[in-house]
């Protein structure tokens, strides 16, 4: 399955909604200040949508952890479970670094700003890997914006050789 750019953007926005709620919740736990927590979440809302979009486009170019199967004459590329987990970990590294710097910047006046930023970013490693894995599994079920690859096979009568050709089908959405 190939994704179009708009699907990647919508997928990024849906993940960011989940991720921002989690960041606001964790930031409130560690700062005790709802205004600071909302500011941290608000800043990362913008930085992470852009970073997530780039992350998705890079992972679309990697075949690691995928399998190709033919369903109803279409070649479908599916992510294996471990790919979703590794993809989540790679995103979490990028995301936690971003969260650390945003939390440090927003909360810089606090005498414990560095420790608080580290605590938020480190806790996110646990909460967001699980949330991201779940998000990936849900999006695998959504067909909108995904282009199946059509497979046709021809068999040579003389050589008994089977030749397969594949092409991305036209958008039907």
Q: How many domains does the chain have?
A: 1
Is 42 domain-assigned?
Answer: yes
Q: Which of 13, 43, 41 is nearest to 27 (CA)?
A: 41
- Tell me the sheet residues that pair with 3: 146
Share of the chain above pLDDT 90, in %: 48
Helix, coil or strand: residue 160: coil
Is 54 domain-assigned?
Answer: yes
Whole domain around residue 56: which residue ranges? 2-65+80-144
* Phi and psi torsions of 93, nearest 5°: -60, -50
Helix, coil or strand: residue 123: helix
Which range is least confidently modeled, 69-73, 130-134, 166-170?
166-170
Confidence at residue 122, expressed as pLDDT on a 0 to 100 scale:
95
| H/E run at residue 21 | helix 5-31
| C-alpha angle 87-26-85 in degrees, rounded to nearest 5 | 15
Confidence at residue 156, expressed as pLDDT on a 0 to 100 scale:
62
As a whole number, mean pLDDT of residues 115-140 equals: 91
Residue-wise pLDDT tens digits, 3-14 = 788 888 888 889
Q: Are residues 81 and 71 in contact, defined by beta-carbon separation less than 8 angstroms?
A: no
CA distances from residue 118 to 15, 128, 150 in whole angstroms, order as listed: 22, 15, 48
As a whole number, mean pLDDT of residues 11-34 equals: 93
Confidence of residue 154 (pLDDT cuts 50, 70, 90): low
Quote the tokens at residue 70: 């033919």
Is 165 domain-assigned?
Answer: no
DSSP state of 47: H
pTM of the model: 0.67
Quote the tokens at residue 142: 């959504």
Residue-wise pLDDT tens digits, 42-76 = 999 889 888 988 998 999 999 999 998 888 888 88
pLDDT at 173 over 50: no
Is 118 domain-assigned?
Answer: yes
As a whole number, mean pLDDT of residues 74-82 equals: 87
């Amino acid at each position: 399955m190939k994704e179009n750019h708009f699907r990647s953007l919508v997928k990024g926005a849906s993940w960011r909604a989940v991720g921002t709620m989690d960041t606001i919740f964790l930031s409130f736990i560690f700062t005790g200040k709802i205004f600071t927590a909302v500011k941290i979440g608000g800043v990362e809302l913008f930085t992470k949508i852009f970073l997530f979009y780039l992350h998705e486009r890079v992972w679309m170019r990697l075949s690691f952890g995928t399998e190709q199967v033919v369903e109803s004459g279409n070649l479908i590329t599916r992510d294996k479970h471990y790919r979703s987990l590794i993809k989540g970990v790679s995103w979490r590294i990028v995301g936690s670094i971003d969260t650390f710097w945003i939390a440090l910047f927003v909360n810089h006046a606090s005498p414990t700003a560095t420790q608080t930023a580290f605590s938020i970013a480190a806790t996110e490693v646990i909460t967001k890997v699980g949330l991201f894995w779940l998000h990936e599994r849900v999006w695998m079920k959504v067909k909108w914006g995904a282009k199946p690859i059509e497979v046709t096979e021809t068999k040579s009568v003389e050589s008994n050789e089977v030749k397969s050709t594949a092409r991305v089908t036209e958008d039907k959405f």
